[in-house]
Structure 1
């Protein structure tokens, strides 16, 4: 027969063991919880492209006009309402629905194709939206007489593709035949892209005065 003292010892060990396992599981839970990857949303991934709800009126009005004329139909319910209200001439209601829809979209995952497209088209600042008082160049002739200026730039004045184009062309003794087309293509690409930070050279070479 097992002695009473041995039973008590085993019982104590069992309780301690269970308690130890319990503490271990709790510790693992909190460890895992603490190392969880934060949720990525459109607002966290593209934080520089968010439109301020209390200002940025010019951009909101521009997005509303885009929403009204855009051939593709938005997927977000409030953006659809905004589109219909704008077409009906109810500007204030349309803007309220637009902001409500964008507020909702900001919390969505960038992996959702519909939410991403709505974000890019109607709820984000594009590079084009960062500049006022000018128009994006549309033809290579808009870059006439700018070769010397472009060639004279340093790496501090250009970034992204503009720097790459400059690096490949700056040693030319005469004006390269294709530099304008390369710059124009990059200007058009950036203008319709979500703003993620300054690209040096964009404002100087991609815009002309209205």
Structure 2
């Protein structure tokens, strides 16, 4: 459920900066600001608690959790739990609490993204390419993806790929072009899944994974 917080616009104006702050200070009105929970704002990114639907993902997130940095006290406590079964159960319980927390909590957002949510990387089936973009030669997997990108420039969905494709005028590619594709893939990989359609996910896979 969204959290409703009463806020005095006049008070906000005092702490504000520039034109916006001055305008708010002049109004003197009070207004309720509704802050959505993680559950509401990132509905498509939530992991399922039903049956075995996302069990493999829960396992993967739990492995990351054990050695990663945590903000939420409940997640920190899991590190000291010696029983794996109990720790995994606690992991899900804490994620439920985070789901129902205000989505503007940046510390909890970090935990949510790393340990409690579904990322693009989690819905792309395949192995993400990790080849060095600086490496020349036919064995560089980015060259194969760039060749495919060049040949299919009229059938692309993402604008960034369209822009890159328009720069591919020859059959050979330099490190800058490989890096541009690699950086784009990296940016997509760690984005929260927000219900993108199969065509979008398939395009990401086509140029970022095997």
User: TM-score if structure 1 supplies the norm length?
Assistant: 0.70
Which is further off, 96-105 or 107-116? Answer: 107-116
The answer for the alignment partner of 1:105 in structure 2 is 98
Give the number of aligned pairs: 166
User: Is contact 2:147–2:171 with CA below 8 Å preserved after alignment?
Assistant: no
Runs (5+) with no aligned partner, structure 1 = 1-35
Cα distance in 1 between the residues matched to 2:66 and 2:124: 22
Pick closer, same or farther for the CA change 1:160–1:62 going to 2, 3 Å. farther
For residues 94-136 of structure 1, give each alpha carbon's deviation from its aligned partner in whole angstroms, at most 9, with x where no partner exists: 111111111010112221111111101111111111123x321
* Larger Rg over CA atoms: 1
User: Is contact 2:38–2:98 with CA below 8 Å preserved after alignment?
Assistant: yes
Pick closer, same or farther for the CA change 1:106–1:207 going to 2, 3 Å. same
Pick closer, same or farther for the CA change 1:94–1:160 going to 2, 3 Å. farther
Pick closer, same or farther for the CA change 1:155–1:196 going to 2, 3 Å. farther
Name the one with the larger helix percent: 1
Give 1:123-138 correspondences, 5 Å limit: 123-132=116-125, 134-138=126-130
User: Is contact 2:35–2:103 with CA below 8 Å preserved after alignment?
Assistant: no
Superposed CA RMSD in Å reads 2.3
SS in 2 for 1:146: helix
Matched, 1:42 2:35: no
The answer for the alignment partner of 1:182 in structure 2 is 180
Pick closer, same or farther for the CA change 1:50–1:206 going to 2, 3 Å. same
The answer for the alignment partner of 2:149 in structure 1 is 150
For residues 135-160 of structure 1, give each alpha carbon's deviation from its aligned partner in whole angstroms, at most 9, with x where no partner exists: 21112322133333111224543325
The answer for the alignment partner of 1:14 in structure 2 is none
User: Is contact 2:62–2:115 with CA below 8 Å preserved after alignment?
Assistant: yes
Cα distance in 2 between the residues matched to 1:160 and 1:41: 31
User: TM-score if structure 2 supplies the norm length?
Assistant: 0.70
The answer for the alignment partner of 1:56 in structure 2 is 54
